[in-house]
Amino acid sequence: MTNLEKSLRKKGRRANSVAVIGAIFGDEGKGRITDELTDYFLKKYKKVIVYRDNGGSNAGHTISMNGKKIGLHQIGSGILHKGCVVVLGKGMAIHPIDLLDEIEEVKRVFEFQKLPAKLMIDEMAVLNLDTHRAFEFALKNRNQKTLGSQAATGRGISPSYADVIFRFPVRMRDLLSEDWRNILGEHYDLYKELIKGLSMDCSTLKVKRFNREDIQLGNKRKFLNNLEKTRDILREYVSPMYEYIRREWKSDTPFIFEKAQAIGLDSRWGVYPDVTASNCCLDGITFSTEGVIDAKDISARFGVIKSTYTSSVGKRQIPTFMEEKYAQVLRDDAHEYGTTTGRPRDIAYLDLEMLKYFCKVGCIEELVFTHMDIIYKRDVKVCVGYRRGKEKAYYRPDQKHLENVKAIYKKLKYWDKARLKTCKTYLDVQKEAKDFIQFISKETDTTPVMITYGPDRSDTILV
């Protein structure tokens, strides 16, 4: 029995349930792993549920099929599978116009008449609207003068979640209500005043759209007219999800919880202030399902990492950034440019001090090692600790703290990636690669379950 199979049937937990969590700064390949797990379960079961519980169009999950590739943002990565139910949960911030464009893009790229999977959207999911994007732009423009560049993606995610904290959220069910024009008209008026307070006219601001040119927000009438086009199409997907999830959780239907972003971007545990607005850890699942699912009952908790390096987008400064002469080669080889923004990612050595912390606070018990083919004929440097002066230091979720520590490195023997790509089982994997995997797993007190060495489903080995 493989480690993967053991992880799905832990004593005292709900069998065939797995959370796929970004273990460092995101972009580790969670979408690819979710897609693979969906395929794995559908070989044994008639149905599988892929549940997204956080983030929105700021996420970027790349999946491939039959030589075709797409970067998903709001739709769960099981969408290509007949028999899969993709649920967009309460904890998400959903941009309805972008979502419809993304649905059409999936159909276009893979030449579908309709989506293979069933798509369901929780009526309680927070709306992410062009008003939020305009406000984020205005706030970022103001802060550049005083605080320097901000790392927001321009998708208005933080303002969407802030609405919930401020007690005036707009949710998916508001868009579909009979009184939707009044509800969203009042929302527009509020954001018009907020943006006016930043000395800007919201109607003139341009906002980002999925796979389109930026558009002007326009006046309230234009804002509402743009949304009106989405209501009839989205209605078939939106419903209350409480009873559905409750019923399916009691059945034997496999569940895959696909997290967006990563623990290193969680506002509680990440390199603050360069963080996201949603809950990137296991406990976010409990909130999104309104307590129907206690995240502690999920059997497998997979943390996904890039095996030999880490990538980072934003303004965070960490002690393990790679020398640029190596970083640019790796960046091009591994296509390290943002799925959502296209921004070139910063490249760093794998940081065990950070990873151990994230595994602890994120409740990660297993590791998935992606990008095992990104290896060169030189020893692999891994950060095994920090020092401040002559004293031992630790990871803390604070940028100023990290600016004053130095990384301590250990070198591990490299492996032959060409030989790795010929392996069919973990028994075939060469000793150097196994030694690396076992070292990382032991240091983080986790169990290895999968490794990948390419973008296709076949480029995977179960441990």
Active site residues: 27, 61
How is residue 366 written in tokens?
């297993």
Q: What count of other Cβ atoms lies within 10 Å of the Cβ of residue 3?
A: 18
Rounded-to-integer distance, Cα 47 and Cα 215, Å:
40
Q: What count of other Cβ atoms lies within 10 Å of the Cβ of residue 195?
A: 22
Helices 96-110 and 220-234, packing angle to 10 deg: 50
H helices, E strands: number in the chain: 15, 21
Nearest to 86 by CA among 41, 120, 42, 36: 120
Omega before 273 cis (within 30°)? yes
Cα torsion for 291, 296, 23, 147, to the nearest 10°? 40
* Bridge partner residues of 127 (DSSP): 94
3-state secondary structure of 383: strand
CB 307 within 8 A of CB 374: yes
Rounded-to-integer distance, Cα 235 and Cα 142, Å:
38
Nearest to 340 by CA among 187, 168, 85, 155: 155
How is residue 430 written in tokens?
């060469």
Sign of the CA dihedral 141, 147, 152, 153?
A: positive
CB 430 within 8 A of CB 419: yes
Rounded-to-integer distance, Cα 220 and Cα 329, Å:
48
Q: What count of other Cβ atoms lies within 10 Å of the Cβ of residue 426?
A: 17
Q: What count of other Cβ atoms lies within 10 Å of the Cβ of residue 94?
A: 26
Sheet with 14-22: strands ordered across: 238-239, 118-122, 84-88, 48-52, 255-258, 14-22, 298-306, 366-370, 447-452, 460-462
